[in-house]
Structure 1
Amino acid sequence: MRNLVLITVFLGLLSVSCTTKETKQVQTTRYPNEDAPLALLMRAMFEDMEEIKDAVEKGNSIKSYLSKHRELLTARPTNPNVKTVTFELMGNAYLESLDLMEKSSEEELISNYKMLVETCLACHQQYCPGPIKRINLLNLPL
């Protein structure tokens, strides 16, 4: 009789625990730094670079992105230690390359675009290597 009571209590607890047990879903995030303004800006800059690449490949004119991209010098990063003198120098180098590319003659456009992509890669090799694989997608085909 005692075993029957124990079994009944056990089964009752088991059924209650199974019906009230919450299922936790593991949610993966594509962008682990999605709330930092600098991370948001960098993703927008990548999309802009895709537009620039498309325009360069098609020989179309390029609109100016310089004022928007200047924000990289002031946008709050995920890690405040990122904003060093080196970051500022590399950011300014990128902005100068972007300015040069936007003012390029048709003959210089491809080489100046390639230099712009290289400035992105150089900085990301120092600071945030995660996007390097994605940045490489911006390279023009040989």
Structure 2
Amino acid sequence: MLLKRLELLLRKMHKFLFSSVVFLLFSCGNDQVQVKENEAIKYPNQDAPLALLMREMFLDMEEIRISVEEGKAISTYIEKHKKLLTAKPTDIGVKTETFQTMGIAYLASLKQLETSNEELLSENYKSLVNSCLACHNNFCPGPVKRINLLKLD
């Protein structure tokens, strides 16, 4: 009799442990889904090559800003940033003649900044940031708030 009760108790414990493990596995999976959903909200265009490039360009602009603030020469980013003219966007309708023109203007501002003497670094950097803002106000306003963080004080 005692043996049967012990066996019954072990089965119940086994079911409880199995249920607990299954519950934990599913709850952990839901956390991962939640993280991915939050990431998708942070970067809604995460897979588009143009969106990925723009995020890299922002990081480059932060480096450029530091160089300008310190009065140091600017590293060259032209070749990397030229890809904005050919990178595939999330919405193919973005690649208009106006987009191309603004992209070329951005690259011209970047080249001018990279070849600036120390006295013109700040002015040319401000021009570069303004070219980013002009384009994003027309095509993709989401990052405007973030781009404004690049402005010099």
Q: Say whether the fold is shared (TM-score over 0.5).
A: yes
Aligned length, in residue pairs: 125
Question: What RMSD in Å do the two structures reach over aligned CA positions?
Answer: 1.5
Aligned equivalent of 1:103: 115
Residue-by-residue CA offset, 1:74-101 (whole Å, 9 max, x unaligned): 0000111100000000000000000011
How far off is 1:61 after superposition?
1.2
Query: Aligned equivalents of 2:67 and 2:119: distance in 1?
Result: 14
The equivalences for 1:117-136 within 5 A come to 117-136=129-148
Residue 46 of structure 2: which of 14, 34, 41 is its match?
Answer: 34
**Corresponding position: 1:77 with 2:89:** yes
Which amino acid in structure 2 is aligned with residue 105 of structure 1?
A: N
For 1:37, give the aligned amino acid.
Answer: P
Q: Distance in 2 between matches of 1:60 and 1:85?
A: 35
**Displacement over 3 Å in runs of 4+:** 18-25
User: What is the distance in 2 between the residues matched to 1:104 and 1:60?
Assistant: 10
Q: Which runs of 5+ in 2 are unaligned?
A: 1-18
Question: TM-score, structure 2 length as denominator?
Answer: 0.77
In structure 2, what is the equivalent of residue 12 of structure 1?
none
- TM-score (norm: length of structure 1): 0.82
The 5 A counterparts of 1:1-142 are: 22-23=26-27, 24-25=30-31, 26-27=34-35, 28-29=38-39, 30-141=42-153
Partner of 1:6: none
**C-alpha deviation, 1:106, in angstroms:** 1.1
Which SS does the other structure have where 1:108 is aligned?
A: helix
Q: 1:31: Cα distance to partner?
A: 1.0
